[in-house]
Amino acid sequence: MNCDKCERDLIVEQDLVNNNHIMLKKQDQQDQQIQSPSIVNKVAQVRPPFLFDPSVFRLLNRKDMKLSYETFEQMENEQNGVHYNLGEGLILRALRRDDYFHGFLGLLSQLTVVGDVSQAEFEQRFDAMQSCASTYFTMVIYDTVMDRVAAALTVVHEQKFIRQCGARGRIEDVVVDEKYRGKRLSKILLDFGCQLAKVLGCYKLSLECKDDLRALYEQFEFRLEDKQNYLCRRF
Ligand code: 16G
């Protein structure tokens, strides 16, 4: 491989990891808005629908995963970006802005308190998270027959100055709708989440969980570290 190509590949990879596609599109949109206020509404409609650039899924190496996904087909279309067909009408894809209408918040309420979040509040938070480059990677398993989000997991990519400007990953808000339990969906999400954290270059990946879920996470090599404490202050 010649060096120009190596460098180009690296840049493309880094762009994907940094969500630069989304950022560049946003910049284009801002430029267009400045040029012509009359197209503001149209621009709002073409905002990227995904929380993160789904092309990052292309960087995952399925051979490195714990479970076997021979039957999972990697696919791509405008509606779902790069995504995986898991069979039985289920796909794994990036969270979309319109998942507000697909029961995403109801699903999260099976994990903890969500509150009464309006569409506007949801979209405002979505946009704020989307604009944090390379930070929030919420992936969902979506039932294309029922048009519902069946399960979700978020990888938070926390960039740091320590560890040679390294990054730490956090697994957050893992939840499977009670109607979809027993189909190993949490394991599938965890496998993809762990691989994503690896691709993002995290030096460690951590999570908080209740005692009864420890065995699940231990299957993915999460361990209670010696002499480490998890402390929490609530407000
Ligand atoms: C669990 C979740 C955490 C979530 C918290 C919500 C996982 C691995 N852990 O600890 O991400 O934020 O529950 O509970 O999904 P809280 O509302 O009491 O903070």
88-123 pLDDT, tens digit each: 999 999 999 999 999 999 999 999 999 999 999 999
Pocket test for ligand 1, best of 112, 156, 232 (most atoms within 8 A of CB): 112
Instruction: Give the pLDDT confidence score for residue 34 in this predicted structure.
Output: 46
Pocket test for ligand 1, best of 138, 209, 232 (most atoms within 8 A of CB): 209
Q: Is 197 within 8 Å of 156 (Cβ atoms)? A: no
Can you tell me the mean pLDDT for 45-67?
A: 88
Q: Which residues pair with 143 in a beta bridge?
A: 90, 148
35 band by pLDDT with thresholds 50, 70 and 90: very low
pTM: 0.86
CA 45 vs. chain centroid, Å, equals 22
Between the alpha carbon of residue 233 and those of residues 58, 93, 173, 201, the distances in Å are 38, 33, 18, 29
Residue nearest to atom 1 of ligand 1 (CA): 209
